[in-house]
């Protein structure tokens, strides 16, 4: 049953999208937008050479249109619609991008690929660019809050299904849509939900935000030409909210007092699903504190929030992508390697015999009393000793966030071996002063090979 349901959701959301100006954004929101931009750019560059990208570009490049936009971390250029798709795939394929813990949405992956292409196609000021980024993120997160948790429980990949709205809102704001046109854009976005949790652990997971970016940009461009849709696409009886969620509360969308959701965005120190970060954090802590090594371990016991086993229960992953959805693998590499970066979630590591043996010593218990960013980890040694830790706020969580310096170092590391030396510093400089740029497209151009 709907707890709170407004009948003018699309209208009020449109008013928020078009009425929010850069000067309306609090300083903390502007700073978080900068952090989001830096983190996403690093992830998109870092994923540029992944096998998923190789296959996507091989399939699509024969059909690229005019070279309007950069493919981050690569030599190729594409039309803005294909660039939105491909850069969205690249930014999410490592599962290293930002996450809003309450909704499980990866906010930047559907929005930034759409508006970066626009910024290269027609010069946009950095202030307008950042305002659109924030509005796009707020749009998808507030819709996500309205549909949570039933939408996710039904099996939708919420980053794709709500991300299309974020991309449409941000793109539409940048190209100057009127209120009726923006409602058309939101209606077109509502007609294009993409993303199933069944695809987690495969290349298609990263396709979801890429397609959402492309679809949202398409929606805005069509709406600019007067391409019509329902103007009540969210709240109508057969609209997005009621069709895609069995219970909705539209207050987060319609209430002017809704807090800025971008302030609850988080950034990953580990290259896998956020829900297993507390387990990784706990394992690494115990390894460091007690000098543990894999050969010393008899058993690894972890207690986790119920969502962990909903999405990371793969016991014997056979690829790096599948390993990102294995709490067993996450615990094993954290103990064996003392790290959980992209190397630890590679195909080679997923198939390493020693890691596979250690995975089988991981026992997982579900504890509904634990928060989403919490875990208990206990290591039983062959000597009989037992070491335990409770992770209340994992590193990278909103309560224990990565610092600006950590996020910048993350981008530097992701650029290594992909971009020429010194290019990372150029990108960081542009992102840090994005609000002063006359042409925000310079950010994308600096990230090409």
Architecture of domain 274-391: 2-Layer Sandwich (3.30)
Please give the sequence-ordered ranges of beta strands (E in DSSP) within 344-406, or none if there are none: 362-366, 375-381, 386-391
Q: Which CATH class is domain 9-267+405-446?
A: mainly alpha
The pLDDT of residue 5: 75
Quick one: average pLDDT of 28-47? 98
Confidence band for 1, pLDDT divided at 50, 70 and 90: very low
Mean of per-residue pLDDT scores for the chain: 96
Same fold, 9-267+405-446 and 274-391: no
Quick one: average pLDDT of 221-247? 97
Instruction: End-to-end CA distance of the chain: give it in Å, rounded.
Output: 52
Confidence band for 7, pLDDT divided at 50, 70 and 90: confident
- Say whether pTM exceeds 0.85: yes
Flag whether pLDDT at 339 surpasses 70. yes
* % pLDDT > 70, the chain: 99
Peptide bond into 349 cis (omega under 30): no
Contacts for 342 with CB less than 8 Å, ≥ 6 apart: 46, 94, 96, 271
The pLDDT of residue 176: 98
Domain definitions of the chain by residue range: 9-267+405-446, 274-391
pLDDT tens digit string along 300-319?
999 999 999 999 999 999 99
pLDDT tens digit string along 402-434?
999 999 999 999 999 999 999 999 999 999 999
How far is the C-alpha of 120 from the C-alpha of 77, rounded, in Å?
Answer: 11
The pLDDT of residue 267: 98
Q: Which of 367, 281, 375 is nearest to 330 (CA)?
A: 281
Flag whether pLDDT at 224 surpasses 60. yes
How far is the C-alpha of 426 from the C-alpha of 429, rounded, in Å?
Answer: 5
The pLDDT of residue 2: 45
pLDDT tens digit string along 267-279?
999 999 999 999 9
The pLDDT of residue 3: 55
| Pairing relationship of beta strands 297-304 and 362-366 according to DSSP bridges | parallel
Quick one: average pLDDT of 249-278? 96
Quick one: average pLDDT of 344-364? 97
The pLDDT of residue 332: 98
């Amino acid at each position: 049953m709907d707890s709170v349901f407004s009948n003018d959701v699309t209208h009020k959301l449109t008013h928020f999208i078009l009425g929010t100006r850069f000067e309306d954004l609090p300083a903390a929101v502007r700073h978080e937008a900068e952090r989001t931009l830096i983190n996403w750019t690093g992830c998109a560059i870092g994923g540029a050479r992944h096998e998923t990208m190789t296959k996507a570009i091989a399939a699509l490049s024969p059909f690229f249109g005019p070279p309007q936009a950069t493919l981050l971390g690569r030599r190729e250029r594409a039309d803005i619609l294909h660039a939105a798709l491909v850069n969205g795939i690249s930014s999410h394929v490592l599962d290293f991008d930002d996450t809003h813990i309450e909704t499980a949405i990866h906010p930047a992956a559907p929005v930034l690929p759409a508006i970066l292409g626009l910024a290269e196609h027609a010069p946009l000021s950095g202030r307008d660019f950042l305002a659109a980024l924030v509005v796009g993120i707020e749009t998808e997160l507030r819709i996500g809050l309205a549909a949570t948790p039933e939408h996710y429980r039904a099996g939708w990949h919420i980053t794709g299904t709500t991300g299309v709205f974020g991309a449409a809102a941000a793109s539409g704001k940048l190209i100057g849509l009127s209120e009726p046109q923006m409602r058309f854009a939101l209606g077109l976005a509502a007609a294009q939900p993409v993303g199933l949790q069944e695809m987690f652990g495969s290349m298609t997971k990263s396709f979801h935000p890429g397609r959402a970016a492309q679809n949202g940009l398409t929606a805005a461009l069509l709406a600019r030409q007067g391409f019509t849709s329902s103007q009540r696409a969210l709240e109508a009886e057969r609209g997005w909210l009621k069709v895609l969620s069995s219970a909705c509360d539209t207050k987060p969308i319609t209430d002017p007092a809704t807090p800025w959701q971008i302030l609850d965005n988080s950034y990953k120190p580990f290259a896998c699903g956020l829900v297993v970060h507390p387990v990784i954090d706990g394992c690494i802590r115990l390894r460091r504190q007690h000098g543990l090594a894999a050969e010393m371990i008899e058993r690894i016991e972890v207690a986790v929030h119920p969502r962990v086993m909903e999405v990371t229960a793969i016991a014997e992953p056979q690829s790096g992508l599948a390993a990102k959805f294995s709490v067993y693998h996450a615990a094993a590499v954290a103990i064996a390697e003392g790290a959980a970066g992209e190397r630890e979630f590679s195909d080679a590591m997923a198939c390493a015999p020693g890691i596979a043996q250690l995975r089988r010593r991981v026992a997982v218990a579900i504890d509904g009393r634990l928060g989403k960013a919490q875990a208990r980890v206990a290591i039983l040694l062959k000597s009989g000793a037992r070491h335990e830790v409770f992770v209340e706020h994992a590193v990278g969580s909103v309560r224990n966030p990565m610092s600006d310096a950590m996020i910048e170092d993350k981008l530097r590391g992701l650029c290594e071996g992909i971009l020429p030396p010194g290019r990372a510093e150029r990108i960081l400089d542009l992102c840090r002063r994005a609000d002063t740029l006359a042409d925000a497209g310079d950010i994308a151009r600096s990230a090409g090979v």
